[in-house]
Amino acid sequence: MTFENILTEKDNGLAIITINRPSKLNALNKATIQELHEAFRAMDADRDVKVIVVTGSGEKAFVAGADIAEFANFSVEEGEKLAAIGQELLFDLVQNLGTPVIAAVNGFALGGGLELAMAAHFRIASDNAKMGLPEVSLGVIPGYGGTQRLPQLVGKGRAMEMIMTAGMIGAEEAKAYGLVNHVVPQAELLDFTKGIAAKIMKNSPVAIAKAIQAINANYEDGVNGFSTEVKLFGESFGTEDFKEGTTAFLEKRKAEFPGR
């Protein structure tokens, strides 16, 4: 797969998607969002891919926001369409992907960049990372899910403060808030993330996909997450991964999951 704005690589079940617009601090424009959509879809469809890591090129930024020049002159209708299409193409897609997605946040993750990181299943940050949603300083609000996912992750009060001040928080503060799971030196970020991915890859990819679906169900309006869990728990019993996992446990050996 060849793209203009992103790089992709695969190695032993791990796929890495790198946003590669260093001159723009990896800002998200329409073309990059479309390429990310295609890359995530392709990786999720690839049976050999067990975990996806998304990161930014260089040491300065994961994604420093959206490309403001693209929408500075938009009308009300164009603005609404921009948010709706973006959420559908990328941010909701990532959140609901059956393959685990880890955001390796190196440097600035602002606006759409933080929204992309929050759409991932969890986040690991370099010690120089800075995160924020500065949209209100431009006269708009976050439009790629930021007003919804940030309160889910850090609580309503902190989300209100972050969004209303348009300020940035550092990596350690983000960890204290629960926005990121780990903070590591930048030079160690990818290796540390790969280490967690390796632990994930030892487990059943079918069960992991169902777990993602069940966890996400708790945040959907009108959906009973407990009922979803019961249903997906039951479905697990009909999978080859369940047969292999339980057989391996009883035989005191490591499971070799057939996978998705």
- Chain centroid to Cα 61, Å, comes to 16
Q: Which two tokens stand for residue 104?
A: 């390796």
Burial of 152 (0-12, 13-18, 19+ CB in 10 A): middle
- 103 closest CA partner among 186, 165, 176, 190: 190
Active site residues: 115, 135
Angle at Cα 173 formed by Cα 179 and Cα 187, nearest 5°?
85
Q: How far apart are CA 16 and CA 116, in angstroms?
A: 15
Cβ density class 166-193: b for 16+ within 10 Å, e for less: eebbebeebbebebbeebbeeeebbebb
**d(C-alpha 115, C-alpha 50), whole Å:** 23
Separation of alpha carbons 197 and 200, rounded Å: 5
Q: Which residue has the tokens 């030079």?
A: 187
The CA distance from 75 to 186, in Å, is 40
Q: Which amino acid is at 141?
A: I
Give the number of other Cβ atoms within 10 Å of residue 115's Cβ: 30
